[in-house]
Structure 1
Amino acid sequence: MAPSTRCVSVFQLSLLAGFALGLQITSPGGISIDKPSGGSVSLDCQFVLASGDSGPLDIEWSLVAPDNQENDQVVIMYSGDRTYEDYNPLMKGRVHFNSADPKNGDASISLTGLKSSDSGTYQCKVKKAPGIDNRKMILRVLVRPAKPRCHIEGPAEEGKDVVLKCTTSDGSQPLKYTWEKTSGSKTLPASAVLDPAGGTVIVKNASSSASGTYHCVVANSVGSEECTLQLNVAPPQNTAGIAAAVIISILLILIIIAIILFCLWRARNKKKYEKEICNEIREDVPPPTSRASMARSFTVGSQRSSLGSMSPSNIPEFHIKSQYGKVPLSEEFERPPSHNPAPPPPRCPGWLGPTSAAWAASPS
């Protein structure tokens, strides 16, 4: 072996020995941790120092930026025998070192009250000059599935496709849905088609045997929730009977409306007729002159002479003459009008004209 080759080999071995004897993080890196929101997580970072590491100890945890154009965000730091926890306002009060004295070889941290925004790649960097090392790990904060809702889409009738749906309002992907029948044969119908990702079960050409209680479970890597529904497959509806009932109902409504309109029309015509009758009475001829005034035109003597010359034997047609043809006697002239009241003429409601007043005052 040439001298130059021996020098290169010795140098490489010395470098490897120096790295082997320097600071090392013993915790595994490149791992992925899934945790539910609201929970807590411990990010492990154990390290050992070499005898040659004599500088000050610095520990830094940071959230690696997903874009190389951005800077990593410091989460917590230990430097100069002092802990600094307020670098990230979103994690203030939620992140701590597990050890009260991290320089003893435990740089692990705990993060509580996990949120979706805590997800990302975390890096633990430990430095004690001349030694330095780092490890990365991925944290995924997942949301537990919310309580799902089980329901039936469309009519559940024999001979039709019945769709069973299971939906949840929240939950981190991927979500997996499973269905089972918990009554009867406790197996899904042979014609059922299950969609594990969408949470749908389609029972094709459903029959009465598909009726029963169904159970759905939605789950992800951090939790699960469930719901149930009752399926009752009914015989097909009599559409002809329903249509006939609707038509009959419409006809009855039209008949009732027609009767109401007819009654209103008849009442209006009756009111119009009564009004016309009242107008005819108002336009009647004036009442005849009072008989009392006619009687005063005769003198007592002329009455006697006239009555003396007139007798039933001389007047053969006397018996057929109207009572209005009689000459009133003197007693009748003296009789007050109130003794012979005249029948009142027909009146219209709410009207009393001068003609009717004259009729009411005249004697018979």
Structure 2
Amino acid sequence: MVLKAGTPETSLLRILFLGLSTLASFSLAQLKVHVPTGLYKLEAVEGKEVVLPAWYTVTRQQESSSHTREVSVLSWFFQQEGKELTQVLTYFNGALSSNPRVSLVHPLPTRNVSLRLEAVQERDSGTYVCSVNVQNGDGNASVNHDSKSIELKVLVPPAPPSCSLQGVPYVGTNVTLNCKSPRSKPTAQYHWEKLAPSAQVFFGPALDTVRGSLKLTNISTAMSGVYVCKAQNKVDFSQCNVTLEVMTGSKAAVVAGAVVGTLIGLMLLAGLVLLYQRRSKTMEELANDIKEDAIAPRTLPWTKGSDTISKNGTLSSVTSARALRPPKGASPRPGTFTPTPSVSSQALPSPRLPRTDGPPPQAVALSPGAVSSSVLSRMGAVPVMVPAQSQAGSLV
């Protein structure tokens, strides 16, 4: 049972503790609590068991009384620096209560009131106070009280350290071997040694026993080997090791080249990735812009009965489809040639021109095999004015 500071139970125990101390000064009986001579400080190893030895004695006069009832109240208190007093064990009116891992070495009633702590932790370090109260049984109210304190310090063995190599180990350079334990109480001291076949033990100033560093200067291939660091305090020790392989100039160049090549390769790979991502982003933005700005193509307003311009952009041989067709039901005469539209124009119908009552146009000399104008008139053809075309390709 733990009584925390500020609770009514703690206040009551304090009053009882002070009251018993005051009454003890008026008692005729003498009670004395003892601890081993000079044992005011006790050390224990973390995780182990420790016994805080304590016992009490009474005067001959008190022992001769047949009505004496010993160990009326027994208490063990624990206090750390800067913190309140707490109770870890109490025996009152035959009832015993205590914290976990806390017990008495001997069962009561007995004058040996030693305290046992099991599996101690670093947080168990502090001051332990043993208080014994014995009341007379002859009807008097006199109470005998005494107390003694023991300071306990829990030691922590060094945790396994970590070893590392600082520097590039090639011939003629300097390197540093580092060693550090994450937890140790008291603080660990560090020692370095080189294993066989060329065993060696190192000392200052190359060795720093507090920081755990070993500086090796102007190293050579003969200094290659396994180096062991030992972290040690008064409780125990633990160790780690590191392998030193001193390289010659050629090996160092190869290693340096490999490192530089790796770094360059990583930089190039990162650059390619960034370039690919940027290009993908640009293409995506361009596609989005095209989709937003695109306009549907217009359909040219060509009508079915309009004239068609030739491929070279000029008008030529524009005729009427109706003039080129023979009359309905008439068949072409033998030896006549049915004119067809020029190859450079499409045979689309053109607007029909009005007929005139004037004299017929004069015949034009035709080349052999061509159809005369009179024949075309009889066939119902209509004369058409063809615009002249200049050499530049424009209409006149």
TM-score (norm 1): 0.55
The change in CA–CA distance for 1:98 and 1:243 in structure 2 (over 3 A counts) is: closer
> Any idea what the Cα deviations from partners look like across 1:226-276, whole Å, max 9, x if unmatched?
111111111243499789989x99xx99xxx9xxxxxxxxxxxxxxxxxxx
For 1:177, the aligned partner's letter is Y
Q: Which runs of 5+ in 1 are unaligned?
A: 1-14, 87-91, 258-282, 304-324, 329-364
Residue 234 (structure 1) aligned to one of 247, 271, 274: 247
1:156 paired with 2:169, answer: yes
1:234 and 1:189, CA in 2 relative to 1: closer, same or farther beyond 3 A? farther
1:106 maps onto 2:115 in alignment: no
Give the match for residue 394 of structure 2.
none
Describe the shift of the 1:302–1:45 C-alpha distance in structure 2 as closer, same or farther (beyond 3 A).
Answer: closer
Tell me what 1:34 maps to.
43
- Paired with 1:109 and 1:284, the residues of 2 have a C-alpha distance of 120
What amino acid does structure 1 have at the position aligned with 2:47? Answer: G
Q: In the aligned structure 2, how far is the partner of 1:120 from the partner of 1:191?
A: 36
1:215 aligns with 2:231: no
Structure 2 CA distance for partners of 1:29 and 1:60, relative to 1, 3 Å: farther
Could you tell me how far apart the structure 2 residues matched to 1:185 and 1:161 are? 20
1-structure distance, mates of 2:231, 2:172: 29
Correspondences of 1:176-191 after superposition (within 5 Å): 176-188=189-201
Confirm or deny that 1:139 pairs with 2:139. no
1:61 aligns with 2:80: no
Task: Provide the C-alpha distance between the structure 2 equivalents of 1:301 and 1:207, rounded to a whole number of angstroms.
Answer: 118
**Structure 2 gaps, min length 5:** 1-24, 63-67, 136-142, 270-274, 276-309, 319-323, 327-331, 338-366, 371-396
More helix by share: 1
Give me the whole-angstrom Cα distance separating, in 1, the residues matched to 2:223 and 2:158: 28
Distance 1:135 1:301, change over 3 A: closer
- Provide the secondary structure at the position in 2 that maps to 1:106: coil
Q: Is the 8 A contact 2:193 2:202 kept in 1?
A: no
Q: What is aligned with 1:84?
A: 96
CA positional deviation for 1:120: 0.3
2:389 aligns to what?
none
What is the rounded CA distance, in whole Å, between the counterparts of 1:144 and 1:202 in structure 2? 26
| Counterpart Cα distance in 1 of 2:194 and 2:112 | 52
Q: How big is the shift at 1:189?
A: 6.7
CA distance in 2, matches of 1:214, 1:242: 26
State how far apart, in whole Å, the 1-side matches of 2:60 and 2:368 are.
164
Match of residue 100, structure 2, among 90, 93, 101: 93
Q: Hey, what does 1:119 align to over in structure 2?
A: 125
SS of 2:173's equivalent in the other structure is coil
The Cα of 1:300 is off from its aligned counterpart by 5.0
Given that residues 96 and 111 in structure 1 are in contact (C-alpha distance below 8 angstroms), is that contact kept between their aligned partners in structure 2?
Answer: yes
Please say if residues 41 and 152 of structure 2, whose CA atoms lie closer than 8 Å, have aligned partners that are also in contact: yes
Deviation, structure 1 residue 45: 0.7
Aligned-residue CA RMSD in angstroms? 4.4
For residues 195 and 56 of structure 1, the distance between their equivalents in structure 2, rounded to whole angstroms, comes to: 58
Q: 1:45 aligns with which of 48, 51, 54?
A: 54
1:281-296 equivalences under 5 Å are 285=312
Match among 171, 174, 189 for residue 187 of structure 2: 174
Q: Answer whether contact 2:191 2:202 (CA < 8 A) is retained.
A: no
Distance 2:184 2:161 in 1: 10
> Structure 1 residue 33: deviation in Å?
2.4
Identity %: 23
**Are the structure 2 counterparts of residues 122 and 22 from structure 1 closer, same or farther at C-alpha, using a change threshold of 3 Å?**
closer
Q: CA deviation at 1:188?
A: 4.3
Take 2:260 and 2:39, find their aligned partners in 1: how far apart are those partners?
73
Which residue type is aligned with residue 62 of structure 1?
F
